[in-house]
Amino acid sequence: MAANREDFEAMPQAACPMSVGEVDLFAPGAQEHWYDSYKLLQAEEPVLRLPGQGYEPGSDAFVLTKYEDIRKVVRDPDLFPSRVGPGASGTSKIHDEIFEDEGFGEVVTARERLRPDIETHKLHRETLTEPWVGASGALQHREMITAHANRLMDNWIDRGEVEFVTEFAAPLPQAVISTILGFPLEDMPMTKKWEEAQVRRFVYGFGPKSQMEDPDEEDNARALVAFNRYIQEQIDEKRRNPKDDMITFLTQVEYQGKPLADGDIISVVSGMHIGGNETTQYALTSEAMLLAQHPEIVEELRADRSKVRFFVEEALRLYAPTQGLSGRMVARDTEIRGVKIPAGSLLHLRWAAANRDPELCEAPDEIRLDRKSPGKHLTFSIRPRGCPGAGLSRLEQNIAVDVMLDRIDELKLATAKNDFKHQPGIMLGLYELHLEFTKAREAVPA
């Protein structure tokens, strides 16, 4: 499998499937036709068996695309537990072995040690992450997020055009999560490379397990070892010179009656770093695209800013940043929609398909700001194991849209510059988004 964009695009690209038998969600090029594939699967094969693609030899994987099926799986962690063991945290055996050899074995085992079940998962979230990135905890960052958004926009607001991904959608969440964690902003070019290493398997990995070739696994793991060392340096510095940031907090907080080990802190920080960057970047890009495509919605939002949050939720539903994940196993033989699923099977939950399930809402392919339950989508999964940083991501998106409405007029897609190509993998991310606009007459000062 390709390990970079150039190699990937040199491979034969999948065409839009015309029948369910032609659907391969993980084939090169399939990302350009995912939503066509979802319609076929939901209509004809909502529980899709992938022979031999489970984690255990001879076991299968199953792709779920219907809203109610996925919701039931997520709500039943006894029958459908998260995977444990080597590579359980979305890594690989090679990755884990290299971490252990380099002295970061505690990082590998942190999840199983800190939150092995639903009760400790809830405690972990409430104690360690919600004070900083939960729905309430994130509110303390409103001014900081707004300042970062305006600072980035200052760089291009007078040009009348912007490549939105590299000049806003990517650097905004990176600056925000770096500030929250306590990473120096001048280190962002370096931490950006580690962020890319964190998500590489989810972009260029193969199949429902996001597997990479062994040499790529080793190279990537060694890059992440360097990131672990960087985080360790930050931990040591915060112990010497405490600051008002999340890493300092993690060095001081007690969890289950005792301080966190450094490996535990590295695990939490690493998870916050990847979670705080990629998904918000893709969401911001989709929202900017929708605003450029729908001037009538822009006017509706300008007339009533209280609708911005409904717009954000609709964008998250329509274009889920993480299209699907393979994080659930089957504990006992079971059956979904008449399909027998043996114990030990892997489940790949396709959030994005569920979000456009005709049984979820009327006209699921349309953006509507008057839906009765705008946040009912599965983009951030749902509790008991929902995304811990959903509150922060939502806040960033709402602020970014507000800032765009304040400072930009006549937003449109740039002529003859967009090919709308998406990266492969399991996340919906445009490589580029070129926009044109006029500067608002009464711009908000940075």
pLDDT tens for residues 393-433? Answer: 999 999 999 999 999 999 999 999 999 999 999 999 999 99
**What length is written for the chain?**
446
Tokens 């911005």 sit on residue: 308
The confidence score (pLDDT) of residue 110 equals: 85
Cα 421-422-423 angle, rounded to 5 deg: 130
Cβ pair 151, 172 in contact under 8 A: no
Locate all alpha helices (DSSP H) within 49-204, ordered by sequence: 67-74, 93-101, 105-114, 118-124, 130-133, 142-154, 164, 171-181, 188-204
pTM, full prediction: 0.95
- Residue 49 pairs in a beta bridge with 62
As to burial, measured by CB atoms within 10 angstroms (0-12 exposed, 13-18 middle, 19+ buried), residue 91 is buried
| Domains recognised in the chain with CATH numbers | 5-439 (1.10.630.10)
Give the Cα separation of 311 and 290 in Å (integer).
Answer: 10
Q: How many CB atoms lie within 10 A of CB 157?
A: 17
Compute the 3-state secondary structure of the chain and give helix, strand, coil in percent, each to the nearest 5: 50, 10, 35
Q: How many CB atoms lie within 10 A of CB 177?
A: 27
Cβ pair 315, 169 in contact under 8 A: no
341: left (phi over 0), alpha (psi -120 to 50) or beta: beta
Name, in order, each residue with C-beta under 8 angstroms of 302's C-beta and a sequence gap of 6 or more.
405
Give the Cα separation of 256 and 25 in Å (integer).
Answer: 41
Name, in order, each residue with C-beta under 8 angstroms of 380's C-beta and a sequence gap of 6 or more.
316, 386, 387, 390, 393
Show the tokens assigned to 237: 């510095």
The confidence score (pLDDT) of residue 109 equals: 86
Cis ω on the peptide bond leading into residue 384 (within 30° of 0)?
Answer: yes
Give the Cα separation of 145 and 173 in Å (integer).
Answer: 9
Q: Tell me the mean pLDDT per 10 residues along the chain, length 446.
A: 72 93 96 98 98 94 98 94 67 89 89 80 91 96 99 98 99 98 97 94 91 93 96 98 98 95 96 92 98 98 97 98 94 98 97 97 96 91 83 98 97 96 95 97 56
